[in-house]
Structure 1
Amino acid sequence: MKTLSGKVAYLTGAARGQGRSHAIALARAGADIVATDACAQIAPNSGYPMAEPEDLAETARLVKAEGGNIHTVQVDVRDLEGQQAAVAETIAQFGRLDIVVANAGVCSWGRLWEISPEQFAESVDINLVGVWNTIKATVPAMIEAGNGGSIMTISSSAGVKAPPGCGHYAASKFGVIGLTKSLAVELGEFGIRVNTLLPYGTNTPLGNDTSMYKLFEAHPAYVYSYTPNLLKTDGLIEPEDISEAVVWLASDQSRVMTGAQIPVDKGFLAR
């Protein structure tokens, strides 16, 4: 069903992983897509490589295969002026902006007193300041259009239940929830809904980062903080499972939902 026909969606971190999946799902539902990604090695402290320009091009190909329209922009979420320019391009090309998915994020591992200042700043600047930049760039256009809309931030189950070994990541994701809740209150009068998603481990390059195993080998007791999920499915959560929630939150089917934190976590947070 084309529940999002006539809508325009702006996504960050869309070159691969969750962002790519969300872009495809939103396009399948009828939305026009603006897909952004840094497409550069911007997080040297992470144990996995960042996306490349070829990844963003593949996202565009897959969206077009769904019959969708897409505009791609290479921009780092830490670049506020770059994101503002991308939003201006969105309005110029599509005439409106209805859906925002602030998805871009990175993760690295280490104990809080042992990581470097650069590692801490990398996580906070991309995961939290980057979300704020996305909001600052997109919200004025949505208010001016007067069409309401739906903003989604991608936090994490670690934004509610902080695990050991990535406290800097957890801090940034806790911050995303606080920012999102405040924004929901501030944008209610404009008919703009704001919600956050709380995924658990997801089958993406970030979710499959094997550098975490070195930390657990050195500190095996940390493993007990990762309690078993209620749903006994095999492996990590697939990005498409999260995209189902994204499409629902983008649509009028969730028209009374705002200020919510929605777990997509196989019951991890329920324990």
Structure 2
Amino acid sequence: MSTKSTEPTVLIHANLTEIQDTNRVRVAVAICENKPVMDVIAYIHQEMVSNAVGPDAAYIRDKLEPSWLRVVSPVAPVAGVIDSAEMLQAYYRFFQLVKPGSTWDHKKPILKGDPKKPMIPKEGFGKFTCDLDKHVRYQYDIWSNIHYGYVGLACGLPRWDLLAGGGGAQIYARTVPDGYWSRRFQELGDADFLAAFDDPADQEAIKIGFELWDSHKLSMTTKHILDIVRERFSRLSTEVCELRCVKHK
């Protein structure tokens, strides 16, 4: 006579990594491997505030100020030449800071890590970080674009130039997304021809940076960043995290 086994049944599912035991049935449960979004927000918040008051931002603001000659005599031709030269120096410094792989480009450190940045894990945050409360995953490039918009305004640069610069960066990196002409004429208008080169999700992240500077300046907190990306998540480079594991609430 055969006896009934008391061992639990094991249900195995591909790519699942944790075992839960419920009513004698052991089920493999998927675990979200993405790091929490608040970790990367804490890092980018520190970068945004410190860079907004740092020496590079101060240099750019100073170069964008009208020269003393312009104040004394607005029609002085020399004043216009000085202002133009100093404005070029300001824009050149900003470009050198935000160009791919430079000091204010956070994409690679966030993705793969940087031993010089202690707030980033050794292996980086990875392609996505997860909002465990909302089941939304945020792509790594969002945060540097938010920094770009926030610090760009802190430096005194105009919004139009910053948005156009985002498109210029896509040209520089040869990563212009499809749909340029439709964005140029239907969404942005003919004037914003450079901005139309940029990915709409990147432009949205830059605009979030604008709003954070306009609303909070240097009093911005990590919660301010979290609240606004949650509000705009459908316009950003995000995915729905369908896992319902022990890490999620």
Q: What TM-score do the two structures reach when normalised by structure 1?
A: 0.32
**Hey, which of these two has a bigger chunk of helix by percent?**
2
Q: What TM-score do the two structures reach when normalised by structure 2?
A: 0.34
Larger radius of gyration: 2
